[in-house]
Amino acid sequence: MQSIHETLNSINLLPRDQMVLALRQAPYVDKLKHFLNYTFNPNYIFDVPEGPVPYKPFEGPDAQGQLYHALRTFYIFNKGAAPGLGVIGKQTKFISMLEGLDKHDANLVCYVKDHKKLPYENITQKVCEEAFPDLAEAWHMFRSATDNVAEVNVPTQEVVVAGIPVIAVGQTTPEVDTQKTIEVTAVETVTPTSTTKVVKKVTKAG
């Protein structure tokens, strides 16, 4: 099994016109898309300290698949999620997660944590958006949410748009004009996390 680092590193060496197809045909592409979502989604902010992480890299064999499994718990490292863990609890879980990963994947996660981009020069956000338009739509939808917004206190949730987790939308509240509706539709609730201030884009009901 190829690790996510091995997959992306090999794609990074391809000519530009081959990279989009290679991303789409990558092994375990659904998991890869989840990782790219955590990398570029502007609503996902790692809630662990910036800079070097004091973890012991895993030196054993056959850890290339561990990041694929660890992605299921990444939502708890988002800012505002899992408040019951506290700062120390999140850091402890993050370190424990890193120590179970292939060492190259662990380095990759640490880089993404601090830079919100990939450490591969040629695999830019634009390339990933070309490869996965559904991800691009979600990223830009939330990035543009400062236009025509209402700020309300709602439960933050991890939701799925086109099969990809995005962070998070609540339901309409009395603070939102009843003649307006939330633009984000057709989402499946996955995991309620915490209560926080969410900026939601709204549009006139037709």
Cβ(51)–Cβ(114) below 8 Å:
yes
Would you state the pLDDT for residue 66? 97
> Has residue 70 got a pLDDT over 50?
yes
Mention every residue, 6+ apart, whose C-beta is less than 8 A from residue 181: 172, 202, 203, 204, 205
CA distances from 123 to 20, 131, 132 (A): 9, 11, 13
Burial-class residue 133 by CB neighbours within 10 Å (0-12, 13-18, 19+).
exposed
Q: Which is more confident, 54 or 203?
A: 54
Burial-class residue 95 by CB neighbours within 10 Å (0-12, 13-18, 19+).
middle
Give per-residue pLDDT as tens, 25-65: 999 999 999 999 999 999 999 999 999 999 999 988 889 99
Give per-residue pLDDT as tens, 155-174: 444 455 444 555 443 333 33
Give per-residue pLDDT as tens, 169-188: 333 333 333 333 333 433 33
* Alpha-carbon torsion angle 117, 74, 89, 44, nearest 10: 50
Would you state the pLDDT for residue 165? 52
Would you state the pLDDT for residue 142? 65
> Has residue 196 got a pLDDT over 70?
no
Would you state the pLDDT for residue 147? 47
CA distances from 118 to 5, 45, 65, 101, 149 (A): 10, 15, 19, 17, 30
How far is Cα 106 from Cα 66, in angstroms, rounded to an integer?
Answer: 10
Helical segments of 149-205, H only: none
Give per-residue pLDDT as tens, 97-155: 999 999 999 999 999 999 999 999 999 999 999 999 999 998 988 655 544 444 444 44
192 strand-pairing partners: 157
Would you state the pLDDT for residue 148? 45
Give the three-state DSSP class for 149.
Answer: strand
